Structure formats: structure tokens, C-alpha cells
A and B are shown apart, each in its own frame.
Chain A
Amino acid sequence: MAGALDGIRVLDLAQGSFGYAGRLLAGFGADVIKVEPRGGDPLRAWPPFAADHPDPERGARHLHLDGAKRSMVVDLDAREGQALLRRLVREADALVESFTPGHLAARGLDYDRLVESRPDLVMVSITHFGQDGPYAQYAGGEIVDAALGGYLYLTGDPDREPVKPYDDLVLQHAAVHGAVAVMAGITHRELIGEGDHFDVAASEAALFLLGGMAQTYHFDGRVSKRVGARLTYANPLYPYPSTIRPCRGGYVHAHSNNRHIDLLAALMQGVGMEALLDRPMGNADAIDEAMDRWMAEKDKFEVVRLAQEMRLPFTEVLTPDEVIRDPHLEARGFFVELEHPAAPGVRQPGAAAMLTGTPWRVARAPVLAEHTDEVLGDVLGLDRAAIDALRRDGVIA
């Protein structure tokens, strides 16, 4: 069965964690051609690696984020490489890139130049702070973008320094905004015939994640502070718990049934919970203590089982090795093992979506430059002699 984006060709020049935009597009069936520099996307050099053996074909991030893409190497610093990219743009529907603002312009490959080759091009640029403004040339990164978008200040415990969420959550969230932008552009072009340039900023993706806190401030002037694993609401009548608490040998995420607050007292008898639920958020510390007493002798699986039986949405705090063995994900066949010449049989995350009409595309990540000749052949119609000449001149690899 064809994918939802069957027939759409995307040139993916995005690097690092921004490559998740292209992965979503490829999963939905687009032909995503990863255009890499000579040494490959830096993502390929990031750990962890299969069997801890550093190799551009064995990195977990690359194997996952570049799944179902094709790879070609083009030297965009060379004039012939720039000309080649312009020819590819003519045959592509969309281009996604994440260079520092000005990098592509210096090579004659910015939107204003590329539309000369393809007037209805959809181009999506994903950067840390956007293409313009006082910080446009500032150096960014996950922790910096999370800081300037206000997300970092609110993550962590009240008595400690703010703490960064795991890995590249903000950058990957920006990549999803980028994928949505590609679809907005493709949609507009298919209906109206015009292209567009979308200028995505990861720091603005962090701002988007604040979930109403910046709005609340505008109206009440209250500057939200870190609240640990709780939710940032000050109203003492607000439902509670929504937090993480220890139990025997682990932790659970504890959450109230927001429609039936009293269920928590029905579950946790003998710890004085009834008296605390008239002002749940106002009594949060006391509720924590009562929960801790009730959970102290139970492990996380037992706590969650008992809570869920009463429609209390508790869940276990799982460690990565527990997630990999999780019976639910196993039953759904979520993790996949793919044949790969350099990293065979690595178990990795599977489909991000289940589509009944247009299945998610599962395919291994490409070896660096695996499809250079194939793309130059099928997309540009170059013959063997022309491809050999480009390779000899060092324009492609």
C-alpha cells in the first residue's frame, strides 16, 4: 500500500536531532533524500553506538532518525555541488534544512535563490532562534534554546537549580513543528500553486511547550516557579496529586481522578487521606506524605494495578530496560528489528502512527552515500559517465 505522502520528494539537509522532521515525512511515505556533507551528518558521530563501537553507520540516533530515508553526499561548498543541489531542487517538492542563518545564502542556496530553480518550492529552515532578530547569529543548542524559550526555568525542583529535560526534547519538538510546516506548505501548494518559506525557531518551540504559563502571567502577573514533578497551578482547589512518589523499590506517577477526587481516599485507607481532599492542591505536601505511607510496602506494579482498578490514572515510572521489555509494547509489536549491513538486528522504536489506509513506512537507515548514484540516476537522469565525472571532481561521494 502506498503511503499518505507517496510521490512527495523531500530534500533533507537538516542535521542532528532536527532530522526527526524528515523521519516523520519518510514514515508517512515521502521520498526523503538526506543530502549529507562529505563526512556525513554529525548525527552519525553521536553515541551510543551498536556494541559501543564508534562508527558512522552504528549510532542509535542515526539508525532511528534516518530510518526510511535515502542518503547522498554532495559537497555544497563546491560550485558544482551547489549547481547539483539547484537541479535536485527543481525535482523536489520540499527542502528542509537547519544551517546557521546565512550559511546557505553564502552558497547561493537560500530560498530567494532556490525559487529561481523551483518557483513553488516549499522550504523549511529550522534553527535555534530563527532567521532574523538580535539573536539570529547566536550559537544555540538544546539547553540554550530551552533556556531562552522559558522551558528550562520551569523544569526542576523549587529548592534547586533548573534542570534540563532528557536529551534533545526541545530540538525534536522543533522538528515536529518543521514537519507540520512542510505539510502546511505542501497543502497550500497543492491547492493554490504557490510555495513558501517557513522559518522555524527551536526556542519558540520551547515557548510553545509552556502550555499557557506565559498567558497566565499576562493576566495575573504571577511569575511561575519550578514545582518538581507537580503541575504549575497555584489554586488550592485544583486537583492533586499529579506527581511522582517513591514506593518499594521504585517510583510511581500518582494522579488524581479529576472527576472523582474522593477515589484517592477510597484506595488509600488508613492514612488520613479523606481529610485532605477538600483542598487537594492546598494540601499537596500532606497528600504526598499520606501516599508515601500507603505505598511504602508495595512495589510500583502493585500500586498501579490497584489504582487503575479504581480508575485512578497512576502509572509506573519505568527505566529504559523495563520499557524495552514492556508487555504492552511487546503485544503491539512496537519495537522493530531491521536488517542493516553495519548494525544488523538492532531493536529500535517502530511506528509513530498506525494508519489504516496508508501504513507507516519501516525501513532501515541508509549507509552514508548509499543512494548517491541512484538519486542522480532516477531523479536527474544522469548517466554513468556524468556521475563518474562528478565523483572524480570530488563534488559527490
Chain B
Amino acid sequence: MTRPLTGVRVLELTTAVAGPIAGCALADLGAEVIKIESPAARTTAGAAAPPPREGAPDRPWNRTPVFNDLHRGKRLLNMDLAHREGRALFLRLVAQSDVVVENFSPRVLANLGIDYPQLREARGDVILVSMPAFGKSGPYALRGSYGPGIDAMSGLSHLTGYPDRGPGKPAQFYCDFHAGLTAAFATMAALRHRRRTGEGQYIELSMLEGELQLLAPALMDVTMNGRSATRIGNRHAWRAPQGVYACAGDDRWVAITVTTDAQWAALARALGHPEIAEDARYATHVARMQRHDEIDALIAAWTRGRGHVEAMHALQAAGVPAGALLDVAELHRDPQLLHREAFSWQEHAEMGAFPHSRLAWRSRRGHHGVSGPAPLYGEANAYAIRELLGESAERVEALREDGVIADEPRGGRH
């Protein structure tokens, strides 16, 4: 099937999560994304790899669920850019590509001798998308950080968590996913500009400045009112009640939020307390916020004996926004996610059926879901060097012997 980016070639020089997410969205949309990964980037250890599918060779580095989810639908060229020949081959690939996406630390790219002017020499209308942690100028330009460290500097860590404990963290890699999708958006906008004008460009997406877009309420409360906010746990900043309430079973919870006074009345009746539905002492958000502890106790007494999914359905039927907190096992059998085919299944050569998390939409024309399984290690070595660059099989063999390309990982700690 033709997808929106069919025919676009992207070279992905990425590490960790943010860069791979950018490529992952572009690959899902039909681009040919070639991830270029150093042979030294991973080891052959793969201690946590699940067993191979029946009949598949035992190559654990091909079976990392997280890596494979981040690289579905891509091609994988394992080539050493620090090697003189690897760098030369890379620049020849740039000449045949539309976009380069990178998220190495500024130091790494400088050490490799790769920058936008050089890419432009290889291809005049190339689009380079860089995703530095803090931006390539300013006092922190050379600071290293992964996504969670950026959450710390954006204020997000300080603002997430329990009021009676230290700063917290949104699960896994929020900052990386946000930055990666923003980069995919920027790439498509730049491609659109190039279609109209023939001009490529260099785009710098500071992960920190991308995340600060989401913190405007807290940041502007400082600039407008001199107030520096802190953590409020599960409560809402100006509505009540809102919370996460314990249900029957071990570690089972339902989230409830009341956004209107009508929903409050509905909640009070659903809890079996019709008398407080009309009570003036609970009539407004402001009033309810003052009695939040008391209201929480009423809700908790009701949820305690009910299953989390049962509680959700009962409250939704009454008109109250409520959601069961699903764990990863429940996500795979949730009727809504199943109906929507939220997992996009692909057949991986060495892992078998693999459920990928697709981009968060379905499209009338079927432009949703992932476009292919994750590649095996070195899968695109021959494709890139022979088919795209026109080199011989002997040359590929020589590059392998010289360590410029690799069929197996050979370094790093993980």
C-alpha cells in the first residue's frame, strides 16, 4: 500500500529513544528509514532477550522487545561512521537521501566530522533534523542528558509526584516520545517546503525547549503571578474531586475526575449519597476542593469492594468520567484497544508475532499501523552498499573484514 511518505528516504543517526521515535513515525508513514548503527553500539549479550521462535537461530541481539518496537518498519545498516570509509559511504548515501535525522550528543557528531554544510555538499537540498538535549548553542550545549534528565531541567520532575514526597517522573521516556514526534512533524513540514521551493534546511529541535511547550501553565504562573507551583499528586489544579482510588484486588485502581457540577451530582448518586448531590456545601469546585479529603473517603469506601473495571463501567453509565488503571497484561485484552487494533501486529523473523504500539490514530484510507517488522542486525548492509551505492560483493566482504560494517554487534555495555 502507498503511504504518505512512500518514496522518501531517511537516514537515521540515532541513539537512545528520541531519535528512534522520530524515525519510527516516519517509517510508519511509509518512508524508507535506514538506521545507521555503529557495530560498537551494542554487545552480543542480550541477557533479557526472550527465546527465539521455533527454528530461528539464537541471536539474542535481534530479540530486544524495546529496540525492535523503536525500529519497526526500518532498515538497519550496521556501519562504523568513525571509520574513514564508513564516513565516505555515509556521505554517498546522503546524496541519495532526502532527510537525515540525528540525536547524537553535539560532541559525537563533531568527532565524526559530520555537520550540515558537509551534508549539503553531498546533497544540496538535504533536510537535516538535529535533536540535541538542550540545543547546540548556549551554556549547556555540550551537556549530556537522556530524556529523564531533561524532565528534571524543564520543571516536569518537580511538578510530578506526591505532595509529601520528592520529585517524581512520568513513566519511561515522556520527553523522548514528545521530541521524537515533534521531529517527525517538523520533517514533514520541511519536506513540504522543499516540494514547493526545492530548498532543504537545517532544523534544530532542543528537546528541552520542546518539552517546555507543555509546561506553560506553571512557567507563566511564575512570570504572571510570581507563584512557583509544586506537586499536587492526583488532584486537579482547580476542579474537584479527582483522584485514583483503590479497588478490590491487589494494586487495582480506578481514576475519577469530576469536571462539571452535574457530574458531581451524578457521582454523589452513584456512590449512594443522593443527599450530598444537592448539598450547597459541595456545590462548586471551590467548595469541593476544601472538602477533598472527606470526598475522597466517600469515594474510596465505594470503590474498595468493587473491581476496577466494574467501577469504571458503573460510573461511566452514571455519566462520571472514570477509567480503570490498566496494567500491561490488561492492555492486551481491553475491548476498546482490541476494537481499535491499537496494537499493530507484525511477523518478526526471529521473534514471531510482535505487537507494536502504532501512532495514536486510525485513518479512513488505512494510513495507520506500522509498515513492517523490525529489521535483523545488519539487514541493510548489502542493500545500502551494493544496491544503493553500486559496490561489488567483494567490496562488501572487504568492508566487513575491515570492520567498517558488521553482521553482529561487537561492543558497548548494552
Judging by beta carbons under 8 Å apart, are B215 and A320 in contact? yes
> In the assembled complex, which residues on chain A have CB atoms less than 8 Å from the CB atom of B63?
219
CA distance A350 to B354 in the complex (A): 40
Judging by beta carbons under 8 Å apart, are B159 and A180 in contact? no
CA distance A61 to B228 in the complex (A): 16
Indicate whether A251 sits within 8 Å of B234 (C-beta atoms), given known contacts A320-B219, A355-B201.
Answer: no
> In the assembled complex, which residues on chain A have CB atoms less than 8 Å from the CB atom of B146?
242, 255, 313
A-facing mask of B336-378, CB < 8 A → 1, else 0?
A: 1101101100000001001111111111110110000000000
Indicate whether A166 sits within 8 Å of B360 (C-beta atoms), given known contacts A180-B181, A186-B192, A323-B153.
Answer: no
B169 adjacent to chain A (CB < 8 Å)? yes
CA distance A24 to B213 in the complex (A): 10
Judging by beta carbons under 8 Å apart, are B172 and A231 in contact? yes
> In the assembled complex, which residues on chain B have CB atoms less than 8 Å from the CB atom of A178?
361
Judging by beta carbons under 8 Å apart, are B367 and A184 in contact? yes
Judging by beta carbons under 8 Å apart, are A223 and B327 in contact? yes
Residue in chain A with minimal CB distance to B156:
A166
Interface residues of A in 45-101 (CB under 8 A from B): 46-52, 60-61, 63-65
> In the assembled complex, which residues on chain B have CB atoms less than 8 Å from the CB atom of A313?
143-146, 149
CA distance A111 to B343 in the complex (A): 25
Judging by beta carbons under 8 Å apart, are A64 and B216 in contact? yes
Residue in chain A with minimal CB distance to B263:
A139
Contacts beyond the supplied A163-B160, A331-B138: 11 A-B pairs with Cβ under 8 Å: A4-B193, A60-B224, A163-B168, A166-B156, A190-B192, A197-B363, A198-B361, A215-B65, A318-B153, A323-B215, A332-B209
Indicate whether A239 sits within 8 Å of B413 (C-beta atoms), given known contacts A308-B143, A315-B153.
Answer: yes
30 A–B pairs (Cβ distance < 8 Å), ordered by A:
A20-B214, A28-B185, A47-B238, A143-B256, A144-B323, A152-B255, A162-B325, A169-B174, A184-B4, A197-B363, A198-B361, A203-B337, A204-B340, A208-B177, A210-B331, A212-B172, A219-B351, A229-B168, A239-B414, A255-B145, A313-B145, A317-B158, A317-B167, A322-B155, A323-B215, A324-B219, A349-B212, A354-B204, A354-B205, A355-B203
Residue in chain A with minimal CB distance to B330:
A150
> In the assembled complex, which residues on chain B have CB atoms less than 8 Å from the CB atom of A219?
50, 63, 65, 351
Residue in chain B with minimal CB distance to A46:
B238
CA distance A370 to B15 in the complex (A): 45
Number of B interface residues at 8 Å Cβ cutoff, please give it.
Answer: 154
Interface residues of A in 150-207 (CB under 8 A from B): 150-157, 160-169, 172-174, 176-181, 183-188, 190-192, 194, 196-205, 207
Judging by beta carbons under 8 Å apart, are B151 and A332 in contact? no
Indicate whether A224 sits within 8 Å of B328 (C-beta atoms), given known contacts A139-B316, A166-B218, A357-B193.
Answer: yes
Judging by beta carbons under 8 Å apart, are B66 and A211 in contact? yes
> In the assembled complex, which residues on chain A have CB atoms less than 8 Å from the CB atom of B389?
none
Partner among B140, B171, B360 whose Cβ is within 8 Å of the Cβ of A328: B140
> In the assembled complex, which residues on chain A have CB atoms less than 8 Å from the CB atom of B202?
355-357
Interface residues of B in 1-24 (CB under 8 A from A): 2, 4-5, 17
CA distance A260 to B213 in the complex (A): 33
B280 adjacent to chain A (CB < 8 Å)? no
A-facing mask of B192-210, CB < 8 A → 1, else 0?
A: 1101100111111110111
Partner among A20, A130, A199, A215 whose Cβ is within 8 Å of the Cβ of B357: A215
Judging by beta carbons under 8 Å apart, are A320 and B159 in contact? yes
Judging by beta carbons under 8 Å apart, are A155 and B170 in contact? yes
> In the assembled complex, which residues on chain B have CB atoms less than 8 Å from the CB atom of A210?
171-172, 328, 331, 357
Indicate whether A228 sits within 8 Å of B168 (C-beta atoms), given known contacts A51-B225, A162-B244, A211-B173.
Answer: yes
A378 adjacent to chain B (CB < 8 Å)? no
CA distance A148 to B151 in the complex (A): 23
Number of A interface residues at 8 Å Cβ cutoff, please give it.
Answer: 164
CA distance A162 to B246 in the complex (A): 10
Judging by beta carbons under 8 Å apart, are B413 and A20 in contact? no
> In the assembled complex, which residues on chain A have CB atoms less than 8 Å from the CB atom of B329?
217, 221, 223
CA distance A194 to B365 in the complex (A): 9
> In the assembled complex, which residues on chain B have CB atoms less than 8 Å from the CB atom of A258?
413-414
CA distance A204 to B263 in the complex (A): 25
> In the assembled complex, which residues on chain A have CB atoms less than 8 Å from the CB atom of B162?
156-157, 160, 163
B166 adjacent to chain A (CB < 8 Å)? yes
A253 adjacent to chain B (CB < 8 Å)? yes
CA distance A253 to B215 in the complex (A): 18
Best-buried of A210, A226, A343 by chain B (most CB within 10 Å): A210
> In the assembled complex, which residues on chain A have CB atoms less than 8 Å from the CB atom of B237?
47, 167
B403 adjacent to chain A (CB < 8 Å)? no
B227 adjacent to chain A (CB < 8 Å)? yes
Q: How far is the CB of A324 from chain B (nearest CB, A)?
A: 5
Interface residues of B in 223-253 (CB under 8 A from A): 223-225, 227-230, 233-234, 236-238, 242, 244, 246, 251, 253
> In the assembled complex, which residues on chain B have CB atoms less than 8 Å from the CB atom of A133?
335-336, 339-340
CA distance A127 to B322 in the complex (A): 15
